[in-house]
C-alpha cells in the first residue's frame, strides 16, 4: 500500500475541511453553518467528511489541537528569548498573530464548545503551575477560586479584545491585565 501518498492526501483533505470551516465561521458564524456548506466550500464529498470527522464539532475541535500545538512552539521560543518571560503576554501575542483563526475559534462567531475546550485546556496548565506560586494559607482565598477568577478574566479580556478589534497591542493588553490582577492576588495570598 502506498502509505505515504495516502497520508498526504488525507492530510490535504483534512486541511481543506479545516480551512473551509474557518472561512465560513468568519463569514456567517458557526451556528449557521451546515455540513453541506462545509463540503461545498471544501469541494469534498459528503461521505468524505464523515470519514474524517464524526461531526461539525469534531472538525472544529480538531482546530483546537492544532492551535495548542503551535502555541506550545510559540511559548518555547518566548521563554528562550526573553529575560522576563510572561505566559500571559505570550498568549496575547500568539492570538494577535493568528487573529482570524482565533476569532473563528474563540470569538463570538465561534462555538461555545470551542470556548469551553479552550478554557479546560488553560485551566489544566494553570492547575499544574499555580499551587507553586500560590501556596495555601489560612484565611486566604482558596486557590481554585483564584484560578477561576484569573481564568475568566483572562479569557474575557482576550476574547473581547479579538472580537471588537480593540486597538491596543498585545503588550498593552497583557500589561493592563497584570496590573489589574496582581495587587489583588498578592493581597489575598500574602506574597
Partner DNA sequence: TCCTAAGCGAGACGGTACGTCTTGTCTTCCA
Partner DNA sequence: TGGAAGACAAGACGTACCGTCTCGCTTAGGA
Q: Which residues bind DNA (CB under 7 A)?
A: 1-6, 9-10, 12-13, 33-36, 43-48, 50-52, 54-56
CA distance 184 to 58: 39
Residue 184 interaction partner, one of DNA, a copy of itself, none, beta carbon < 5-8 Å per kind: a copy of itself
95 binds a copy of itself (CB under 8 A): no
By the rule CB under 8 A, 151 interacts with a copy of itself? yes
Instruction: Report the SS3 class of residue 131.
Output: helix
Instruction: Give the long-range contacts of residues 64-69, CB within 8 A, separation 24 or more.
Output: 64/105, 64/114, 64/117, 64/118, 64/121, 66/18, 67/98, 67/101, 67/102, 67/105, 68/121
Q: What SS3 class is residue 111?
A: coil
Burial grade of 113 (CB within 10 A; 0-12, 13-18, 19 or more): middle
Q: For residue 183, state whether it binds a copy of itself (rule: CB under 8 A).
A: yes
Give min distance, CB of 120 to a copy of itself, in A: 12
Our finding on whether 136 is near a copy of itself (CB under 8 A) is: no
Q: Is residue 148 part of the contact set for a copy of itself (CB under 8 A)?
A: yes
Cα 176 versus chain centre, distance:
20
Q: Considering beta carbons, is residue 36 or 153 the nearer one to DNA?
A: 36
Stretch that binds a copy of itself, among 4-12, 42-50, 74-82, 183-191 (CB under 8 A): 183-191
Interface residue list for a copy of itself (CB under 8 A):
108, 112, 116, 141, 145-146, 148-149, 151-153, 155-157, 160, 168, 176-177, 179-188
Amino acid at each position: 500500500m502506498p502509505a505515504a501518498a495516502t497520508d498526504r492526501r488525507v492530510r490535504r483533505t483534512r486541511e481543506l475541511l479545516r480551512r473551509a470551516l474557518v472561512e465560513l465561521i468568519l463569514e456567517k458564524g458557526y451556528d449557521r453553518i451546515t455540513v453541506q456548506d462545509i463540503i461545498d466550500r471544501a469541494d469534498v464529498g459528503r461521505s468524505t467528511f464523515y470519514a474524517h470527522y464524526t461531526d461539525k464539532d469534531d472538525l472544529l475541535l480538531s482546530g483546537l489541537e492544532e492551535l495548542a500545538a503551535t502555541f506550545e512552539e510559540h511559548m518555547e521560543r518566548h521563554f528562550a528569548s526573553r529575560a522576563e518571560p510572561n505566559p500571559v503576554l505570550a498568549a496575547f501575542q500568539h492570538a494577535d498573530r493568528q487573529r482570524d483563526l482565533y476569532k473563528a475559534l474563540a470569538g463570538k462567531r465561534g462555538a461555545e464548545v470551542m470556548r469551553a475546550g479552550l478554557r479546560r485546556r488553560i485551566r489544566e496548565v494553570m492547575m499544574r503551575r499555580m499551587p507553586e506560586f500560590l501556596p495555601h494559607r489560612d484565611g486566604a482565598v482558596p486557590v481554585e477560586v483564584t484560578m477561576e477568577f484569573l481564568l475568566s478574566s483572562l479569557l474575557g479580556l482576550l476574547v473581547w479584545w479579538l472580537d471588537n478589534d480593540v486597538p491596543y497591542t498585545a503588550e498593552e493588553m497583557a500589561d493592563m491585565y497584570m496590573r489589574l490582577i496582581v495587587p489583588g492576588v498578592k493581597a489575598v495570598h500574602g506574597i
